[in-house]
Amino acid sequence: MATVIDGKAVAQTIRSEIAEEVRALSQKYGKVPGLAVVIVGNRKDSQSYVGMKRKACAELGIKSFDIDLPEQVSESDLIKQVHQLNVNPDVHVCGKKCMQSGILVQLPLPKHINEEKVLSEISLEKDVDGFHPLNIGKLAMKDRDPLFLPCTPKACIELLSRSGVSIKGKKAVVVGRSNIVGLPASLLLLKADATVTIVHSRTTQPESIIREADIVIAAAGQPMMIKGSWIKPGAAVIDVGTNAVDDPTKKSGYRLVGDVDFEEASKVAGWITPVPGGVGPMTVTMLLHNTLEGAKRCFEKNH
Ligand code: NDP
């Protein structure tokens, strides 16, 4: 049976480490990191993600700034807001000095706003989501280091390394090639010296490719697509997929499942993450980690 990687427990450990570093920064510089969280409109899922992020900030001593904009806000007004946040100096909040050192624009944005345009206006130094094209570009280049890594792919690598799974020289398969998960996850694995193959919706016979992998990162958004028989015995399986499927036995009428058939795959794999409780809790934690890293650079520069 596979070792089940407990994302919640790993996330808790990392959050304690971050809280400790925030305290140390506060002592050294007399101020704490701040994260501006921008949300446009009233989408329920976005509101809930933003709520989680703001709550997590508060728990670790990071100050979050709430910028809630109406659904109809124009692209140019949103960009103006981003520009203001880019140059936001120290501010005092509840008697505490704080530097707004990270900016997060919750996606998706309403259809009339060009996401790519907005994201590329965020200052590179404050791009804690790691979605700025320059950050992604550097991730794709040899011997270049982006200032920030995108949170979910960073979470996958952190889960592997904290579970003692070595990446160097291993065959890794990433299922999915989105800009926010699949593609950057494959680039991170490559940077860590894995030999990487990407499987996507046009790949023929994905099972034969996945069966070769020592490491599988699944991010296709296809409920339980990857069967136990597709997994190489002893492989490490990181399941990013978060899919709601009907379940009349639940009060909500649904349950969350991953892209991997957990019951089957856990009998074959060496390590596996559950859904929920695997990558999910780690993603927000990596956002906080990025905010801390950005603050350290900001504080040092402005000291
Ligand atoms: P996208 O829909 O943007 O991308 C899905 C990718 O999977 C695409 O590249 C697509 O290929 C590929 N794909 C779709 N169907 C198949 C298939 N049958 N076989 C192989 N590849 C396939 O999704 P995201 O990357 O945003 O998210 C992926 C999953 O991860 C979702 O379930 C999402 O909810 C979850 N997620 C979880 C997070 C967490 O923190 N736990 C954070 C972010 C996402 P193609 O490019 O050819 O269309």
pLDDT tens per residue across span 270-299: 999 999 999 999 999 999 999 999 999 988
Of 208, 245, 202, the C-alpha closest to 226 is 208
pLDDT band at 93 (very low <50, low <70, confident <90, very high): low
Model confidence at 152: pLDDT above 90: yes
Q: What is the C-alpha to C-alpha distance for residues 142 and 167, in angstroms, rounded to an integer?
A: 17
pTM: 0.95
Classify domain 29-123 by CATH architecture.
3-Layer(aba) Sandwich (3.40)
| Residue range 151-280 in CATH 3.40.50.720 | yes
Q: How far is the CA of 7 from the centre of ligand 1 (A)?
A: 20
Please tell me the residue having the least CA distance from ligand 1 atom 47: 201
**Annotated catalytic residue, options 129, 239, 259, 261:** 129
pLDDT band at residue 89 under the 50/70/90 scheme: low
Closest residue by CA, ligand 1 atom 15: 201
d(CA 273, CA 49): 21
Query: What is the 9 CA–ligand 1 centroid distance (Å)?
Result: 25
- Mean pLDDT for 78-99 is 79
Q: What is the pLDDT of residues 43-88, one digit of tens each?
A: 999 999 999 999 999 999 999 988 999 999 999 999 999 999 998 7
Q: Is the CB of 181 under 6 A from ligand 1?
A: yes
Predicted confidence (pLDDT) per residue in 220-263, tens digit = 999 999 999 999 999 999 999 999 999 999 999 999 999 999 99
Is the beta carbon of 206 within 6 A of some atom in ligand 1? Answer: yes
What are the residue boundaries of the structural domains of the chain, listed by start? 29-123, 151-280
Query: CB of 186 closer than 6 A to ligand 1?
Result: no
Q: Is 53 in the active site?
A: yes
Cis peptide before 276 (omega within 30 of 0): yes
